[in-house]
Structures are given as structure tokens and as C-alpha cells.
Amino acid sequence: MSSATDRGLPRCPFCGLEVLGLNGQDGLLDTYVLTGDDREVLEQGIFGECHVRCLLDSRWGSLWASRWLGNFSAVRGWLVAAEADGLAVLRNPRLPEAVVIRDDGWMTLVGDHALARRDGDLVPVRHEINLPLHDHPEVARAISTDLAAGRSHPIMDLVDALRLGDRLLSRQALAAGALRPSDIAVARDDHVTATAEYSKWIPGEAMRLLLSARPT
């Protein structure tokens, strides 16, 4: 994600551990959605990249859920397409995509094309990933070696090496996930850029609501 810098991976404001920026496992608490009443959030430092599991375990999830709902509807003009049991689906009126927000702070944005390629409750994800790994030279070296040889590298190896396994929302979603060489792949001893391919887990009730809210 964007705030990953050469200073190293961002750290979760709740647990202090590193955040890889994996869609469905990690989230971005972006302060631009906050309102004037949210000084305490800033004072307590509850913003930036975090593990979704940590947000859900905290007392801050419902506040962020309500701010996202307000931002997507009032600021971005997305339209509420379905609501049920603490879940709301809002659709982008200009693009084929939707966001589903649960009132405890879980949320995800998903395009209709990815949704059509789902496997049960798992939706495929693919993006470039930028990992400043200065603090983990052996991990960076292992990934670089694989990518340089044209091989993929299991994402779970990276997660386990950084001891982030118990911060995941769904281990299954990453089970077959891999870092792959890409055209812009940069692999050095301290910094890895690659293509990440894995899945994200969408809970059953949220998946059903998303599917029901698709245009026919």
C-alpha cells in the first residue's frame, strides 16, 4: 500500500506488528473519512494501515464503519443497493463495483468481474505489491531468489516468516497465494516488488447480499 516506504513496512496501530497490505486481511484507516467529532481517533493514533482482525477486536470498528458508510454515500455518491443484518452494500454508479460495509468495521470493495470469478466465498485478487524488507534481509533474499529464477514464492511463507499468521482473518484465502515475477519486478536484498495473486474471503452473508445487489 501507499504508505509503505523505505523506512520499512507500516505497523498496525493496534498490535504494533507489521502490515503487508493484503486485500481482505489488511485495511487502511484513512483519516480523510473522519469528521470534526473524531479528535479522539487522532489523539489515540487509531489510523493508517492495520490488520482487519485487530480492528474487529478493538472498540474502534463501529466508528470506522460508520465513517466509511458516510464517505461512500455522501461524499462519493455511491448508492445503497442492499441492507441486512448490520451489512450495507453500496454500488459505484459509474463503475461495475460495490463496497460492502459491516457495522463492526469489516468492509471490502469488490468489482463485478472478480465476483463472477469467485470460488465459494473466495474472490480472486491480483495486484502489484511493494515490500520494504530492510528488517528481514533473509526473507527478502528468499523471495528475490525465487523471483530471479522465474519461480513464484508462497505468500504464506512471507506471512509466517514475519509471524503474522494469527493476525489473519482467513488463512485459507492465502493458502494458494503467491508472489510472482512481474514486468516491473524489483527484487533486492532489502526490497521486493512483485505481482501478488491470492484470494480474499467474503463471509457468506456478505457474499449473498453482494450478489443480490448486482444489476440484472
Residues that bind Zn ion (CB under 5 A): 12, 14-15, 51, 54
Q: How far is the CB of 103 from Zn ion (least distance, A)?
A: 20
CB atoms within 10 A of CB 127: 13
Cα separation, 2 vs 129, whole angstroms? 10
The residue (of 47 and 78) whose beta carbon lies closer to Zn ion is: 47
Q: How far is the CB of 178 from Zn ion (least distance, A)?
A: 23
The residue (of 15 and 114) whose beta carbon lies closer to Zn ion is: 15
The residue (of 83 and 166) whose beta carbon lies closer to Zn ion is: 166
The residue (of 10 and 88) whose beta carbon lies closer to Zn ion is: 10
Q: How far is the CB of 55 from Zn ion (least distance, A)?
A: 8
- Chain centre to alpha carbon of residue 129: 12
Supply φ then ψ for residue 57, to 5 degrees.
-80, -10
Q: How far is the CB of 85 from Zn ion (least distance, A)?
A: 26
Q: Residues 79, 65: contact at Cβ < 8 Å?
A: no
